[in-house]
Structure 1
Amino acid sequence: MANDDHKQRMAQLEARIAAAKQASAPKPKGSDHHTQAQLAWRMVIELVAGLGIGFGIGYGLDSLFGTLPIFLVLFTLLGLAAGIKVMLASAREIQDDRLAEQAAEQTQGPAGDDGDEQGTRTHGN
């Protein structure tokens, strides 16, 4: 009877150790670095696209109406504002995703923390 209990406790301990090792395994740094670069390029492209579209609309209206600098400056500034707005929305989306990932990690918690403390107390006594 005691032998079966000992085997069962050892199997549970091994399962907790395996889960803890898997949970604390470091994530590869290379993929995280590329993800950060992709996010940075996404924001730069959104800003430049807003500026380019505003510049194009302003230049087109100026050449259509014969007033060169007025619409060009106005729509370039509007394009800059639109690009910044889209860039900030992207940053907020990324931040929300990161916070959701952190919340999911916290709800799962590190595997075996409570069990390790109890096991230490049981074996220490």
Structure 2
Amino acid sequence: MPDTDHRSKLAALEARIAAAKAGGTKQGHAHGQEHYSAAQVGWRMVTELVAGLLLGFGIGFGLDWLFGIQPVMMILFTLLGFVAGVKTMLRSAQELQEKPSGPGAGDDDEG
């Protein structure tokens, strides 16, 4: 008797899994993927800004050490690195806006 009970529960579970794979819970997965994608793009932008700052600081510090003029090149190249990081962030944001996101992203424009 317990063997048939387990088989019926297993059959019910398999039916629920098949229904989920067929598309019964697509919206839940799309929201999770969209959230992950936005977080991933956000971290990419932060990383690009910090990389620009650190690269500019490193180049400026190296040039200051080489030429012996302490804060001039470091400040100049740190600002240039910041500008380069912001430009890269804006390019990434524009890339994100151009790419359709979500399950029905391009449906509204075709009507």
TM-score (normalizing by structure 1): 0.60
CA distance in 2, matches of 1:80, 1:108: 40
CA distance in 2, matches of 1:92, 1:106: 20
Q: Deviations over 1:40-88 (max 9, x none)?
A: 0000000000001000000000000001100000000000000000000
CA distance in 1, matches of 2:79, 2:54: 11
Alignment-derived partner of residue 112 in structure 1:
none
2:79 counterpart letter in structure 1: L
2:73 counterpart letter in structure 1: F
Classify the secondary structure of the residue corresponding to 2:51. helix
- Unaligned 5+ residue runs, structure 2? 1-22
2:60 counterpart letter in structure 1: G
Q: Which segments of structure 1 move beyond 6 Å, counting only runs of 4 or more?
A: none
In the TM superposition, what are the counterparts of 1:26-37 in structure 2 within 5 Å?
26=27, 28=29, 29-37=31-39
CA distance in 1, matches of 2:46, 2:86: 10
CA distance in 2, matches of 1:92, 1:67: 39
Q: Which has the larger radius of gyration?
A: 1
Alignment-derived partner of residue 56 in structure 2:
54
**Is 1:90 the equivalent of 2:109?**
no
Q: Identity across aligned pairs (percent)?
A: 50
CA distance in 2, matches of 1:107, 1:31: 23
In the TM superposition, what are the counterparts of 1:1-125 in structure 2 within 5 Å?
26=27, 28=29, 29-98=31-100, 102=105, 104-106=106-108
Question: How far apart are 1:105 and its partner, in Å?
Answer: 1.7
Q: Which has the higher contact order (CA 8 A, sep 6+)?
A: 1
Classify the secondary structure of the residue corresponding to 1:98. coil
TM-score (normalizing by structure 2): 0.67
CA distance in 2, matches of 1:27, 1:105: 19
